[in-house]
Structure formats: structure tokens, C-alpha cells
Structure 1
Amino acid sequence: MKAGKFFPSRRLAWGRRFGAAAAAVAGLGVSGAAAAADNYPSRPLRMIVPYAPGGNGDIVARIVADGLTTRLGQQVVVDNRPGGSSIIGNDLLAKAVPDGYTIGVIASTIAVLPSLMPKLPYDTLKDLTPISLVGQTPQVVVVASSLGVNTLKDLIALAKSKPDVLNYGSTGVGSTGNMAGALLNLMAGIRIVHIPYKGTAQINSEVMSGRLHVAIPSVTSSLAHIRAGRIKPIGLTSTQRSNQLPDVPTIAEAGLPGYSAVIWNGAFAPSGTPKPILDRLSKEVAAAMRSPEAQKRYGALGAETIGSTPQEFDAFLRSEIEKYAKVIKASGLKAELVR
């Protein structure tokens, strides 16, 4: 028997058998994933929240967790893992088993971290998968009453006449207030100096005293002071006006078209989570955020519920990362762990 005649046909036979076996295994994998999705969820879910209990990020996450518990028929347990500018919790989520039973709700600083801290222990776009954009909270540019500024155009004009003289406060480098101020500087061509503070309450107090000229806190944290006339609002960072401050224009309306710097929160899963489960979670998060209870609780934060598909949220996340990469590069911001 000649090897040249036998072994080619033998290899061909084995190739056919291997191909058939591989196809069968692949088919089992697809049907197994579909079956898992059909039975999902069969046990409680863990929701990692990279913030301390009681803060805005924690409150938002619990609104989502309560809604999902009702929608899915399984308890969604919040697991607070604060620290390291949310990096600790983000990394824990990125390294979790991608079976749909560990998810997380993370705020907009996740789009800032890749440019501010290039050596993260995880890759934001490769290790985390967007589920749904949950909602957004507008910030508001407020000024000291003693500054003599009534509009955003007034502020820009004053800042251009006094570069590096005016200041604005935030809770630290990379915080939402810092990013909003840096974007304002970049788009308006002005130089208002950033001063970090330990908390929003201190910032509001400094603006009221006139020691701090400008701040960009959330609407919720500044609303009482605005209504009391202790600080003056001149522009919202969102693309739409706030129901709580209907007479305050957006920054885009007030002279900087295209400006947007909101605090947003989104639901994420570890990469590798089966698509049918991601789609189910996305659908349920969106439905949960449309419920009257979620609307009421989220609205109390001065926020707007959203709900999106994984694809929509992924595109939004990438655009936010790109936007803040440009801001950080242009502003020369240096890494600093923020809360």
C-alpha cells in the first residue's frame, strides 16, 4: 500500500470528521447560550457600585437595582466598592465572570479615566460592555453675586479681559465639575483657574462668600442656594433646559453651540457576557427607568432617565472618551485620584 495514496484520503476523512465535530460543538455552544438566556436569571444578581453608600452614584444605582429586582423577579444586591476614583470597583467588575449575574452602575468619570490615568488595571472598551445608559444629571454654571456677571457672555468677556485671574472650583482633578470647567475654557478660549476642594458644600460656601468666582455643581446640590439668591446661575451644561431651572439657558443656547458636559450614569457588564443576556438586561433597565417610581426618584435628583440599547450606549461612551481625551490633552491635566 502506497502512503501517497492512502494518507491524503485519510487526512481528508479526519478533516471531515473534525469539521463536523467542530460544527456540532459550535451548535451546542449557541444553543447552550440561548438556553441560558431563556432561563435567565435563575438566581440573584450582584450590582457592583464603585462609590460609597449615600452618594449620588449609589442612589442612582439603587434606583436601577430596585427596578431590575421587580422586572427580573430576582433580587439585585448592591455591592459598594468605593475608592481609587472608582477604579477599584470598575476593575472588580471588569474581572468578574461574564455570565450576567454581575453587573455594575458607573458614572461619567469612567470616560475621563482612560486619558487621565493611562495605566488602568483594565481596558474600558475591551473589558467592560455597555448595557444601557441609565440617565443624566445637568450641572449648572454658578457665579458669585459680587462678580457682577449676569450671563455666560458676560463671564466669557470678563475672563478674556483677565486671563488666569478668575477661578472656578470642583471636587478634584478629573471630577465632573473640573471636566465641565476645562471644556468651557477650551471652547470659549478663556483661562479660568481651577481650584480643587474637598466637597460641593465647601464650594457652594466659597462662591457665596465671593472667594470663589465660579463653580459648576450639579443642579441638585446648588438648587436651594440658587432659589435663595445666594449664588447666580448663568448656564446649564446639558443640551436641554432643566425643569427645576426653566429660566436658565443651556451653555449651548447662551453662546457656545455644541457644549455638553452632564453627569451621566450607565449600566455595564464584564466583556464576554452573552448577547441575549445583554439585550435582556438592556430592555429591562430601560423599562425600569420608565416606571413612575424611577421617574419620581430620579427626578428628585434633578436628573433625567434615559434607557438605551447596548449599541447606542457604546457609541455614546466612545464619543465621551474621545471628547475628554481632547480636553485633558489641551488642558494639561495631570492624574490625581478623585472620589
Structure 2
Amino acid sequence: MRTIRSLLTRGAWLLSGATLVAFSALPGTSAAQDYPKQPIKLVLPFPPGGPTDLLTRVVSVKMGNAMGQNFVIDNRAGASGMIGAEAVARAAPDGYTILSNASLHIITPIVTPKMRYDAIKDFAPITQLADVPLVLVVNNASPIKTVADLIALAKSQREPLNFGSPGNASSQHLAGESFKLTARVPLQHVPYKGSAPALTDLMGGQIQLMFDSMPSAMPFIKAGKLRAVAVTTAKRSTALPDVPTVAESGLPGFNISTWYGLWAPRGTPASIVNQLAAQAAQALRQPDVHKQYVEMGAEPVGSTPEEFAKYITAERTKWEEIVRKADVKAGE
């Protein structure tokens, strides 16, 4: 009798042990159980006040409230976003350091021969936050009121008009290069460390125009400090319904937008990546967040990690074609 009882006890112990081993072997299971247990660092590779900063802060507050931990914003500007992105690529893959970046994240490697990290292989896509039209803006005192005005002025000048961007090879930069090619006008690119300093110089008269992301440009448009001349997407923006598209202003086929997303370091457990994606999507569905995004001219997305990965692949192909046609080089 004692032998049978001992065998049964031993069998139950072995079964429970095997179950525990199998459960612990599930990818990311233990990591997800107690995540997050400390604040999460959210690296933004641009200065405060730009579109990446504005869009990310709105979502991160909601995510932090839902997850019970603060998202601490770390603005690390410079080198067209590479400084901040590299910091995340080198961070521990534990979910406590993540990156918020624009489409520049996948454009920069196309024009930069020697990268210190791989923008695809060194990161785990979390979610696309938003899709955003670009808007052609000028100083409110500028004589440029239409795309036709810009083309005529550019062709009449001895020196090229200067257009700013938040960095070399950003979607804003490439929009200007595409416009230059399509309209056949001389324009000189002036890169900045983010949209905020570029907009400051635009309002101060140091540069003449800019193709900027709507979230950062909208406050100045509403305040009457900048004039919106045209949007770069195929359709007009609901945030600026009276502003024509570049395409309907005489350059048919012109269609460029930018987008923003979250990434984690490669090797971050899938359970943590999925949790972050789900929380971001939930935040984007909240009426107040959705309203703020739309008012800034952004279209909320909230994709799954798998959907975001596929989107990144398609976008990389598109931007490679634009870079090739514009012959954009690193450092320009």
C-alpha cells in the first residue's frame, strides 16, 4: 500500500514538474507575467516639439496609465535620428527601452552606406502609430500663396530657394527633392536636427519653405505664423479641407506622406512586443486621443507587429525608388 501511494505521489510530482517546464518554455511567458515592473524609457531621436515627439507623448501617457508604469521620454536628437535609434538597438531586449521614430528610420539606411546598426534586423516592430500627410508651408509674409507662385518665384531667382527639413533623407527632405524634380525648379536643401528648429528658421526668414509633417506645422498654421500652400497626399486632409493638394495644383501624381511607429530591440520577447502593441492600439482608439491626432492632421493606425513588419517592407521599396530618382546621398 505504501509503495502504491509513493508511486502515485511521485507521479503527480513528475507531472506537475513537466507541466511547469513546458509552461516556462513558452516564449516570453515569464517575461510577460511581471511586465512592466519599472518605468519604460521611450527614446525619441528628435528634439521636443517635433511631430514624433507630439504624437508619441499623447499615446505614451495613455499606455503608461493602462500599464501602471510611466513612459519616460528621452529625446536624443542628431545624425538624422541615428543617435537615438542606435541607443535602442544596443539596449537590453527586455521591453524597458523602446524607440519611437518616423519613416526616416527605414529611409536613412538607404542613403547611408555605413550604418552602426541594421534598421531592420536590429529591431522588433511593435506598431504603426499614425500615417500623416506632409504640408508645404511658407512664412505668412511670403508672396508664395500657391504652388504656381512657388514655381514662378523659384525660376525667377538667381540663387535656389532654401527648403528645410528635420534631417537628411527624412520624408520631408525627399518630398522637397521630389517636388524639385517634378516641378523642375532649383531648390536647396537645408537639414536641421528636427522639425522644431527648421520651423523656427522658416518663421524667421532664414529659409523660404518647408514640407513638414502636419502635427508640428499645424499650431503655427492655426496661429497665422505659417501659410499652408498645399498638402502632399493624393487627397486633401480633413484637418485642412480648404488647402489643395500638390497634385491638383498642377503636378499630377505627386503623392507623399510620412508615418510614425514604435520599435523594440531585437530579441525582445514576443509577448512583451504584443502587449505594447495592444496597449498602443487601445490608446489610439480612445476618443480624446483620436481627436488630438485628427486635429494635428494625423490618421491613427495601431497595427499589429506582423502588420507593421509587412508595411515596413513595402515602404522601404517605395522610398528606395524615390531616393534613386532624386539621387540623394548621405550628408546632403
| AA of the residue aligned to 1:329 | R
Q: TM-score, normalised by structure 1?
A: 0.75
Question: Match of 2:107?
Answer: 112
Cα 1:221/1:131, change in 2 over 3 Å: closer
Structure 1 residue corresponding to 2:186, chosen from 189, 192, 195: 192
Is the alpha carbon distance of 1:32 and 1:154 closer, same or farther for their aligned partners in structure 2, counting shifts above 3 Å?
Answer: closer
Whole-angstrom CA distance in 2 between matches of 1:223 and 1:60: 13
**Quick one: structure 1 residues 69 and 115, their matched pair in 2 at CA, closer, same or farther if it must change by over 3 Å?**
same
**1:202 has 2:198 as partner:** no
SS in 1 for 2:129: strand
Aligned counterparts of 1:222 and 1:37: Cα–Cα separation in 2: 39
Distance 1:311 1:257, change over 3 A: farther
- Cα separation, 1, equivalents of 2:220 and 2:46: 26
Residue of structure 2 in register with 1:92 after alignment: 87
8 A Cα contact 2:127 2:262, kept in partner? yes
- Partner secondary structure for residue 112 of structure 1: helix
Q: Distance in 2 between matches of 1:90 and 1:326?
A: 23
C-alpha deviation, 1:324, in angstroms: 2.4
Task: Map 1:1-339 onto structure 2 (within 5 A).
Answer: 27=22, 30-31=25-26, 33-142=28-137, 152=147, 167-171=161-165, 172-186=167-181, 188=182, 190-196=184-190, 199-206=198-205, 212=208, 214-220=209-215, 222-223=217-218, 233-254=228-249, 255-257=251-253, 259-262=255-258, 264-336=259-331
Does the C-alpha gap of structure 1 residues 227 and 98 become closer, same or farther in structure 2, counting only changes over 3 Å?
closer
Q: 1:89 to 1:221 in 2, by over 3 A?
A: closer
Opposite residue 255 of structure 2, the aligned amino acid is Y
How far did residue 25 of structure 1 move? 12
Q: 1:258 to 1:281 in 2, by over 3 A?
A: farther
**What SS does structure 2 have at the residue aligned with 1:327?**
helix
Tell me the TM-score normalised to structure 2 length. Answer: 0.76
**Equivalenced residues, count:** 308
Q: Which amino acid aligns with 2:272?
A: I
SS at structure 2 position matched to 1:216 = strand
Counterpart residue number, 2:3: none
Paired-residue identity, %? 32
Distance in 1 (CA, whole Å) between partners of 2:230 and 2:265 is 37
Moved more, 53-62 or 306-315: 53-62
Task: Name the CA distance, whole Å, in 2 between partners of 1:228 and 1:34.
Answer: 50
> Structure 1 residues 65, 220: CA separation in 2 closer, same or farther (over 3 Å shift)?
closer
Residues 109/164 of structure 1: CA separation in 2 closer, same or farther (3 Å cut): farther
Is the partner of 1:245 in helix, strand or coil? coil
Q: SS of the residue aligned with 2:64?
A: helix
Conserved 8 A contact 1:168-1:192: no
Structure 1: segments with no counterpart, 5+ residues: 1-22
Q: Return the offset for 1:91.
A: 0.9
Q: State whether residues 159 and 190 of structure 1, in contact with CA within 8 Å, keep that contact through their aligned partners in structure 2.
A: no
Output the amino acid matched with 1:107: A
Question: Cα–Cα, structure 1 residues 302 and 317, in superposed 2: closer, same or farther, change >3 Å?
Answer: same
Q: Structure 2: where are the runs of 5+ without partners?
A: 1-17, 193-197
Q: 1:256 to 1:315 in 2, by over 3 A?
A: farther
Q: Which residue of 1 aligns with 2:10?
A: none
Deviation of 1:228 after TM superposition, in Å, equals 7.9
Q: What is the one-letter code of the residue matched to 1:202?
A: D
Do 1:134 and 1:305's aligned partners in 2 also have CA atoms closer than 8 Å? yes
Q: Residues of 2 paired with 1:201 and 1:27: CA distance?
A: 58
Matched residue SS, 1:125: coil
Of residues 142-151 and 162-171 in structure 1, the stretch that sits farther from structure 2 once superposed is 142-151
Structure 1 window deviating more from structure 2 (287-296 vs 23-32): it is 23-32
Matches of 1:320 and 1:165 in 2, distance apart?
34
Matches of 1:103 and 1:221, distance apart in 2: 22
**Contact between 1:179 and 1:261, CA under 8 Å: does it hold in 2?**
no
Change beyond 3 A, Cα 1:252–1:319: farther
Contact 2:155–2:186 (Cα < 8 Å) also in 1: no
Q: Does the Cα contact within 8 Å between 2:202 and 2:210 map onto a contact in 1? A: yes
